[in-house]
Amino acid sequence: MILTVTLNTALDITYHVRALRPHGTHRVSEVTERPGGKGLNVGRVLAALGHEVTVTGFTGGATGRAVRDQLAGTAGVVDALVPVQGSTRRTIAVVDTTTGDTTQLNEPGPAITPAEWSAFQETYERLLRSASAVALCGSLPPGVPVGAYAQLVRTARASAVPVLLDTSGEPLRRGVAARPDIVKPNAEELAELTGSHDPSQATRSARRRGAHTVVASLGAEGLLAENAAGRWRAAPPRRVHGNPTGAGDSAVAGLLSGLVEDLPWPERLARAVALSAATVLAPAAGEFDRAAYEALAGQVAVTSEASAA
């Protein structure tokens, strides 16, 4: 079983409009609602790939009930979310169908009490006993300690469960110091962590800070990965246009599935890039265009570079 953690779950709502104009009134041509938050997106993609997945984190209120109701209909995903008094947040993506651009609005999430945080930690420790890998994903809701991910990384490592961390800011900085097996920042998050805008230099710096493997998401240019065994770049065969929401989460799913299947790093990266690109072509986060994925999987270029000093 692969475990994904989403401390700040969401109901993802996507609106499609012909053209997004500031201060204007818009007629929405299509609306989709999906369980959201990075870890839930990762879990749904993993399940679509045929893996057994358990999702945990916080959920509450009417929005939380909607998230859980939709998860109940997702084959291969087990709901182990922890109930809270506050209401699960909503995230709004507005897709301009003329340009393909997406505007994102993210609510902050419910305030978590100390008792709710303790209840989650008990659930997490129990779930780790049967997990083959764990992904810690996304932002922290109000009330959760800024060092939460560092604590959860250490707990996973104490249980000998490989752990991937995908967050940003101070939670990322503290989490990296706890020595996760993999971190997957985007270029902006990596620069904020290390102070370097050169991805090669920044991945090296992130490893020195504690991460065993750093996989940097470079947007349309693909992925740059580095660990003790070497450094690789993986790039899609062509630029794809669509809704990028959730593309990074699909890359995480590709990396995790490759980890539990014990694939060589070039194959893990090729899968992650193909899934990411196929997600841009899908209507909502947590989904991917399967035909596009299967077509792209064999076309991703993975090149090996000199090992880090």
What's the confidence (pLDDT) of residue 306? 66
What digits encode the pLDDT tens for the residues 44-56? 999 999 999 999 9
What's the confidence (pLDDT) of residue 16? 87
* Pairing between β-strand 53-59 and β-strand 2-6 as defined by DSSP bridges: parallel
- What gap in Å lies between CA 176 and CA 179, rounded to an integer? 5
Asked if residue 272 lies in contact with residue 296, where contact means CB atoms within 8 angstroms, the answer is no
Report the DSSP beta bridge partners of residue 3: 54, 134
Tell me whether residue 249 is one of the annotated catalytic residues: yes
Q: Is 28 helix (H, G, I), strand (E, B) or coil?
A: strand
Q: Which of 114, 164, 173, 182 is nearest to 142 (CA)?
A: 114
The type of residue at 117 is W
In this predicted structure, the answer to whether residue 284 has a pLDDT above a threshold of 70 is: no
What digits encode the pLDDT tens for the residues 146-165? 999 999 999 999 999 999 99
Q: Which of 18, 47, 50, 17 is nearest to 35 (CA)?
A: 47
What's the confidence (pLDDT) of residue 280? 77
What digits encode the pLDDT tens for the residues 56-70? 999 999 999 999 999
Instruction: Say which range, 88-92, 142-146, 240-244, has the weakest mean pLDDT.
Output: 240-244
Q: Which of 69, 249, 262, 289 is catalytic?
A: 249
Looking at residues 216-228, what average pLDDT do you find? Answer: 88
Q: What angle separates helix 290-297 from helix 265-280, to the nearest 10 degrees? A: 140
Length of the chain: 309
SS percent in the chain: helix, strand, coil, step 5: 40, 25, 35
The type of residue at 251 is A
What digits encode the pLDDT tens for the residues 174-183? 999 999 999 9
Q: Cα-Cα-Cα-Cα dihedral of 297, 299, 300, 301, to 10°?
A: 150
% of the chain residues with pLDDT over 70: 96
In this predicted structure, the answer to whether residue 18 has a pLDDT above a threshold of 60 is: yes
Q: Nearest 5°: phi and psi at 72? A: -60, -25
Looking at residues 95-121, what average pLDDT do you find? Answer: 90
What digits encode the pLDDT tens for the residues 2-17? 999 999 999 988 888 9
Angstrom CA distances, 297 to 60, 145, 270, stand at: 38, 39, 6
In this predicted structure, the answer to whether residue 307 has a pLDDT above a threshold of 60 is: no
Asked if residue 80 lies in contact with residue 54, where contact means CB atoms within 8 angstroms, the answer is yes
What's the confidence (pLDDT) of residue 309? 47
The type of residue at 109 is G
